[in-house]
Amino acid sequence: MEHPLSRHERKRQQDNVNKAKAVLSESKGKGIIDKNTWWWNENVQRELKEKKNAFKKWQLERGNECERQARKNEYRECKEKATKAVAIARSELRNSCKVLMKDDEIKERWKIYFEKLMNEENDWNRVINRKPENVRLVNEIRPDGIPVEVWKILGEDGYKWLTLFFNKLLQEEVIPTEWCTSALVPIYKNKGDVQDCGSYRGIKLMSHSMKVWEKVIEKRLRDESEITQNQFGFMPGRGTTDATFALRQMCEKYRDVPRNLHMVFVDLEKAYDRVPKAVLW
């Protein structure tokens, strides 16, 4: 049987959505999609990047006419290589296996991929080192359709309602059923084959109300727990910049002595919530 708090939360969500639609109306919600570049493979991306860099060098060249002409010729060569790479990739695409076009087939493929990814035990005897990747920021649309800005606009009344609701969750030790649902969105990493699911990072979009609830719990846990001063990153006032500077200073001092200095960098691929702390320490 569904808990009363879940029914109450669903009714509150629906009321907010209906009021927002009545006041702000509703858009189609479709973003801008570049339909001409989705099939680019790694070789095409690399050649186009080299062409772009060559063009910038040509435009920024402030030397004599010979130097500018050399930069221009370099750009033309890169442009020819990029054009050839695009033509080859387009030809391979036509002759390759079937590309999924129907929404149902695409969703089923992503479902199979993420189910396998999130239910597969990693082999921790294998350590993979890679450079950190830049995470693209996206406009998040939550499953319940209610962004956190709603609570900011409601002001004091919204905070009072949330406080009362959160206290009930603590007292009855339950969470709304809607909070157990999330939207899994694949975000391209800007490298690798765009047709390979492994070239995408899965991002879970959850209810903003639940994220506010998580922040409240996190604040209470941080007040009660003690975290070592050696922890840098994801800590207020302790970013990784200072730690990186300290490492560089240490390397320079050991190089001057000279003495051996041993450091280990471990980058876990697709770690999610399965970080093997026992193996790391």
**Is residue 124's pLDDT more than 50?**
no
Burial of 176 (0-12, 13-18, 19+ CB in 10 A): buried
What confidence tens digit (pLDDT) does each residue in 209-218 have? 888 888 888 8
What confidence tens digit (pLDDT) does each residue in 137-153 have? 334 555 666 777 777 78
Q: What is the pLDDT of residue 2?
A: 65
Average pLDDT (113-133) is 50
Question: With bands split at pLDDT 50, 70 and 90, how would you rate the model's confidence at 252?
Answer: very high
Q: What is the pLDDT of residue 142?
A: 59
Runs of H (alpha helix) within the chain: 4-24, 42-60, 65-95, 103-118, 149-172, 208-224, 240-256, 277-280
Question: With bands split at pLDDT 50, 70 and 90, how would you rate the model's confidence at 253?
Answer: very high
Average pLDDT (163-188) is 83
Residues contacting 185, CB < 8 A, separation 6+: 138, 202, 203, 204, 205
What confidence tens digit (pLDDT) does each residue in 152-167 have? 788 888 888 888 888 8
Average pLDDT (2-12) is 72
Q: What is the pLDDT of residue 76?
A: 92
Q: How far apart are CA 163 and CA 157, in angstroms?
A: 10
200-205 vs 183-188, strand pairing mode = antiparallel
Chain Cα centroid distance, residue 184: 11
- Whether the upstream peptide bond of residue 4 has omega within 30° of 0, thus cis, is no
Q: What is the pLDDT of residue 121?
A: 55
Q: How far apart are CA 197 and CA 110, in angstroms?
A: 7
Higher pLDDT, 5 or 165: 165
Mean pLDDT, the chain, as a whole number? Answer: 75
- The share of the chain scoring above pLDDT 70, in percent, equals 77
Out of 122-126, 129-133, 264-268, pick the least confident.
129-133
Q: What is the pLDDT of residue 126?
A: 35
Residues contacting 6, CB < 8 A, separation 6+: 174, 176, 177, 178
Average pLDDT (193-197) is 72
